[in-house]
Amino acid sequence: MAITKVGDVSEERRGRGRPQVRPDEETRAVILDVARQQFATSGYAATSMESVARRAGVSTKTLYRLIPNKGALFEAIITDGIDRFVSRIRLRPCENEDIECALRDALIACGELILDGAVIGLLRMVIGEGDNFPEITETFYNKAIKRTESTLASWLKAQAERRLIAIDNPTEAAGMLLGMLAFQPQRAVMLGQAPPPGREELERRAHKAAALFLRGCAS
């Protein structure tokens, strides 16, 4: 989620009749990266469309043409990240019936999203400003939290249909797994007591959570 620094590509700097320097899709990606970081660090109220345009190196005219308002901008950064996450989960089927390895990989993908520093910053912002802007709470809950849970639940359901696991409520199971994986480190980061876990720690937690889920806690 690093911010890409770019030069000014506003309409004013292009001569009349000249082709657009950069496709809209690339411009939109730059805008979302900038907005994601600015929302997480400055907050929702303090972030303006004009400041996002300035930091992204585009004109406000271009920004409003691509994304009509701040609410749509916030929703776009949430759905953009989740869309990429959903694609990754779908590309990781269980091969050779090694369910533990497949579940571990699925949980790592979940953890990379949930425990990302910028995502935790957005969650902190939503909690802090949600009373004043209830629309961002609804957007984050439905577009990020519930969609992440439902993506993992769909993956679990597919494995159950292949008889690799036996579960009667994939949504409930997904919630439990995500809680085991991410709740403790997420709270520590949100309260400023620890940095986001690195790749090695995430893999360790995913391995433990998968083993506990598949084998239970039998002595």
Q: What is the pLDDT of residues 27-61, one digit of tens each?
A: 999 999 999 999 999 999 999 999 999 999 999 99
Q: Could you give the CA distance from residue 184 to residue 178 in angstroms, rounded to a whole number?
A: 10
Instruction: Kindly list the distances between the CA atom of residue 171 and the CA atoms of 67, 83, 103, in Å, as whole numbers in the listed order.
Output: 33, 19, 15
- At 107, give phi and psi (nearest 5°): -70, -35
CA nearest to 41, candidates 136, 125, 114? 125
In this structure, what token pair is assigned to residue 116?
């990302």
pLDDT of residue 76: 96
CB 200 within 8 A of CB 206: no
Give the model's pLDDT for residue 217. 58
The pLDDT confidence band at residue 134, using thresholds 50, 70 and 90, is very high
Task: Quick: pLDDT tens for 173-188.
Answer: 999 999 999 999 999 9
pLDDT band of 218, cuts 50, 70, 90: low
- Say if CB 125 and CB 108 are below 8 A apart: no
Q: Give yes or no for a contact between 119 and 147, defined as CB atoms under 8 angstroms apart.
A: no
- Classify 95-215 by CATH class: mainly alpha
Report which residue type is found at 125: M
Q: Model pTM?
A: 0.80
Residue 158 reports pLDDT greater than 80:
yes
pLDDT category, 22, cuts 50, 70, 90? confident
Examine the pLDDT at 16 and tell me if it is beyond 70.
Answer: no
Judge contact between 106 and 177, C-beta under 8 A.
no
Looking at residue 11, its pLDDT comes to 42
What is the pLDDT at residue 94?
63
3-state helix, strand, coil in the chain (%, to 5): 70, 0, 30
Taking the CA atoms of residue 32, residue 92, residue 189 and residue 40 in that order, the dihedral angle to the nearest 10 degrees is: 10
Read off the pLDDT of residues 195-214 as tens digits, 9 standing for 90 and up. 999 999 999 999 999 999 99
Specify the pLDDT at position 89.
Answer: 74
Rounded CA separation 35/181 (Å): 28
6 pLDDT above the threshold of 60 = no
Domain spans in the chain, listed from the N-terminal domain onward: 95-215
What values do phi and psi take at 163, rounded to 5? 65, 30
Render pLDDT for 81-128 as a digit per residue (tens, 0 to 9). 898 888 877 656 566 678 899 999 999 999 999 999 889 999 999 999
pLDDT interval class at 13 (50, 70, 90): very low
Q: Which amino acid is at 69?
A: N
What is the separation, in whole angstroms, between the first and last Cα of the chain? 42
